[in-house]
Amino acid sequence: MKAIPLARTKELRDDGSIIEIVIWELPRPLPPSRHRYKYRLYFGERGQPRVRYDNERGKGDHRHIAGAEVEYAFVSIEKLLDDFEQDIENWSAT
């Protein structure tokens, strides 16, 4: 099985911000992650990320909020998208 693209969207908002979501299903987990997804979720402006979720080999699931990187406990794609949306709402409310 090859990697299967599950989602790829990019939204340019009227305020100049960008939301981009890229999700792939992999044939096997990307260590140290235990799930079979590779993802990159981005909210920010050009060159100024505000919220970013991603996972990479050797680093695992994590998110960046205003430049600070913290581990992320991946549960499911649905929860990932909900958490990302909530972080965008929280950022926009400040």
Tens digits of residue pLDDT in 21-61: 999 999 999 899 999 999 999 999 888 899 999 998 888 99
The pTM for the full model equals 0.91
Q: Confidence class of residue 93 from pLDDT cuts 50, 70 and 90?
A: low
- Phi/psi of residue 82, nearest 5 degrees: -65, -45
What single-letter DSSP state applies at residue 58?
Answer: T
More confident residue, 66 or 8: 8
Which H or E run includes 53?
strand 48-56
Closest CA to 52 of 15, 27, 22, 12: 22
pLDDT in tens, 54-92: 998 888 999 999 889 999 999 999 999 999 999 999 887
Rg (the chain; Cα; Å): 13
pLDDT at 1 over 80: no
Give the residue among 50, 44, 47, 43 at the shortest CA–CA distance from 81: 43
